[in-house]
Amino acid sequence: MPKKILVIEDDKDIRDTISYALQQDGYEVISSENAKILKSIKDIEPSLILLDNWLTDWKSDANGQQLSKELKTNPSTSHIPVIMISAVSNIKEIAEAGLADGYIKKPFDLADLSSIVKKHIL
């Protein structure tokens, strides 16, 4: 059974590209344009989460960094690796503050995406 990756990215083109690339690597991919899907995380049981830092339609007081921190401090989800994705220059610091397991800076190379996912997947 393939490992399951949850991709939360509001940009459709980026979301589709990531999903396609990961499916080609043999992963099952569930993708969403917003973080509302996290309400179903227990049903999804992802092996890894790719989380965009800027989600336009979640809620005004939350961003990917805050959501990552919530996931990593919740005992029921803390074991799931979270990889932050963003084009901001300080994504490393944002990912660290959000307790994420890693980060990917946009624009990214698909080979880099693949290697980062392989490094962190359970």
4 backbone dihedrals φ, ψ, rounded to 5°: -105, 130
3-state secondary structure of 98: coil
Q: Which of 62, 2, 64, 65 is nearest to 32 (CA)?
A: 64
Tens of pLDDT along 71-118?
A: 999 999 999 999 999 998 999 999 999 999 999 999 999 999 999 999
Q: What residue ranges in 12-120 does DSSP mark as E strands?
A: 28-32, 48-52, 82-86, 102-105
Q: What is the arithmetic mean of pLDDT over 45-52? A: 96
CATH assignment at residue 81: 3.40.50.2300
pTM: 0.92
Domain count, the chain: 1
Domain with 19, as residue range(s), is: 4-120
3-state secondary structure of 43: helix
